[in-house]
A and B are shown apart, each in its own frame.
Chain A
Amino acid sequence: MPLDNIVFWVFAPISIASAIGMLLVRNAIHAALFLVVNFFCLAVFFLLLDAPFLFAVQIIVYAGAIMVLFLFVIMLLGVDSNVPVRERLVVQRPLAFVLGAAFIVELFLAIRAGVGLSTKAPAVFTANEGGNTQAVAKVLFTQYFFPFEVTSILLLVAAIAVMVLAHRRARAVTQAEIDAAADDEADAELPAYDAGAAS
């Protein structure tokens, strides 16, 4: 049994099991950790499919940046608040599983008709000549140069949008509130001072 076959049969069940685990757990943190496992399995698949550049990008961008962002937001919002209180999806839940099963059967038939269940990729990936990263860069910076530049604008717009969304606008503070705050401070200090003097 060749090595890549063994690796595939080790990681395919792990990836599917972690996806199922993500669906079943209630805690958002646990779901995020299952998702990290799934991302790592997909990175291994990319390696098996002769895409080492995407393997690195998958680990850095998905398992690194995106999951850190997810965990950060989960922590920011508080873990306890993420438990759903009401469950009103009585009809939709079984329906979703039925439709999912139908989808997978349909997909199986489509793959069997379209690709063939035992079709193997060519033994040598000739497009990878001279290194995968170099080959991807060549395609990216010649044939797909314009989409690449548009992507940079997209990232810029996303960064600005996040700053606008996450920015907490400073509220105008009235003089009455400043006076009230000063009074509170004075009230708070006085008993503490007395208590210190008494003891």
Chain B
Amino acid sequence: MRTPVAYYLIVSGILFMLGTIGVLTRKNALLIFMSVELQLNAVNLSLVAFSRLHDDLTGQVLAFFSMVVAAAEVVVGLAIIVAIYRRRRSVDVDDVRELRW
């Protein structure tokens, strides 16, 4: 274990930033969703890195829970995207604006 923990944290931060940029700039609901997955994974990496740093398994357990919640979230989110697509023939987030204002 010679690599400083800060390197993992920086990689995690860069991945989180890239995911954020994806959420902010993409218009396709599916690609926004993939960017959210990227963010969740980046946070998992930092959790595991902190778990290693503090010699405590709580971080790993938390990362495990976050994976389970992410799986449930993906399933429900994709079902919603499919339902929207059936109704509007589009996955562009600009087309879904009834509740916007």
Contact = CB atoms under 8 A, between A and B. Distances in A.
Interface string A112-147: 100111111111011110001001100110011001
A35 B34 contact: yes
A136 B63 CA distance: 11
Contacts, number: 242
Interface string B58-101: 10110111011111111110111111011001111010000000
B37 A121 contact: no
A181 interface: no
A69 interface: yes
Contacts of B33: 70
Contact of A166 (B69, B82, B91): B82
Contacts of B94: 86, 88
Chain B interface residue bracket vs A? 35 or more
Contacts of B25: 23, 89, 92-93, 96
A182 interface: no
Given A38-B41, A161-B76, 6 more contacts: A15-B11, A35-B37, A57-B64, A104-B14, A108-B13, A132-B60
Interface of A: 2, 4-5, 8, 12, 15-16, 19-20, 22-23, 28, 31-32, 35, 38-39, 42, 45-46, 48-51, 53-54, 57-58, 61-62, 65-66, 69-70, 73-74, 76-77, 81-82, 84-89, 92-93, 96-97, 99-100, 103-104, 107-108, 111-112, 115-123, 125-128, 132, 135-136, 139-140, 143-144, 147-148, 151, 154-155, 157-159, 161-162, 165-166, 168
Interface of B: 1-11, 13-15, 17-22, 24-25, 27-28, 30-31, 33-35, 37-38, 41, 44-45, 48-49, 51-53, 55-58, 60-61, 63-65, 67-76, 78-83, 85-86, 89-92, 94
